[in-house]
């Protein structure tokens, strides 16, 4: 008795109900697959209004100087400032301020953008929020294995974006790349 029922043996009303049930089940299955495909995205797809916040250039320069001093005192080469990395870092810092949280959302797109513009072979980033000074954020990153690894990594270029949110919080993005 397994398998689908023989439609020729059913009355017209039963045939119609069975076909409607099968179509509804198929439609539901397609919707479920679509929902799973869309909801499993690793990066957010929501849209938010992003406003360019004010840069704090003095802290940006102090962080890059601190990272380069750390690198050279530990046998690594100094990082060259990159305008491309700076532009991308600024966009991400504005995005974090708009979301009100630090994150690496869209990192693969940022890395691809930098790679396309300067033929980068590797890209990494550090992000932070709420540190009052360049030295504080530098020391925070230094205490974190992942952030320290980026600061010590085989990179040739970098840029730091530091911006102040409307609520007065500082947000930080440092991008590294190897050319």
Exposed/middle/buried for residue 37 (C-beta within 10 Å: 0-12, 13-18, 19+)? exposed
- CB distance 161 to 86 below 8 Å: yes
CA distance 150 to 113: 19
- The runs of H, that is alpha helices, within the chain are 12-39, 57-73, 83-99, 107-118, 134-143, 145-152
- CB distance 152 to 178 below 8 Å: no
- CB distance 66 to 142 below 8 Å: no
pLDDT of residue 42: 47
Q: pLDDT by residue for the chain (179 residues), tens digit each?
A: 455 444 444 445 444 554 454 444 443 333 333 333 232 334 554 577 888 888 999 999 999 999 999 999 999 999 999 999 999 999 999 999 999 999 999 899 999 999 999 999 999 999 999 999 999 999 999 999 999 999 999 999 999 999 999 999 999 999 999 99
Q: Tell me the two tokens of residue 70.
A: 């750390």
CA distance 122 to 99: 27
- CB distance 69 to 138 below 8 Å: no
pLDDT of residue 44: 52
pTM for the whole structure: 0.73
């Amino acid at each position: 008795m397994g398998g689908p029922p023989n439609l020729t043996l059913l009355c017209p009303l039963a045939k119609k109900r069975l076909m409607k049930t099968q179509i509804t089940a198929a439609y539901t299955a397609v919707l479920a697959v679509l929902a799973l495909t869309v909801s499993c995205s690793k990066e957010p797809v929501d849209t938010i209004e992003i406003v360019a916040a004010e840069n704090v250039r003095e802290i940006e320069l102090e962080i890059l100087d601190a990272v380069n001093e750390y690198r050279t005192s530990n046998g690594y080469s100094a990082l060259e400032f990159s305008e491309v990395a700076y532009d991308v870092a600024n966009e991400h810092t504005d995005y974090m301020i708009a979301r009100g949280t630090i994150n690496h959302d869209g990192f693969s797109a940022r890395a691809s953008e930098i790679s396309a513009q300067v033929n980068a072979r590797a890209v990494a980033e550090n992000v932070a929020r709420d540190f009052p000074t360049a030295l504080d954020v530098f020391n925070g990153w230094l205490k974190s294995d992942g952030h320290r690894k980026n600061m010590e990594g085989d990179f040739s270029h970098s840029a730091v974006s530091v911006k102040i949110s409307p609520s007065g919080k500082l947000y930080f993005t440092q991008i590294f790349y190897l050319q």
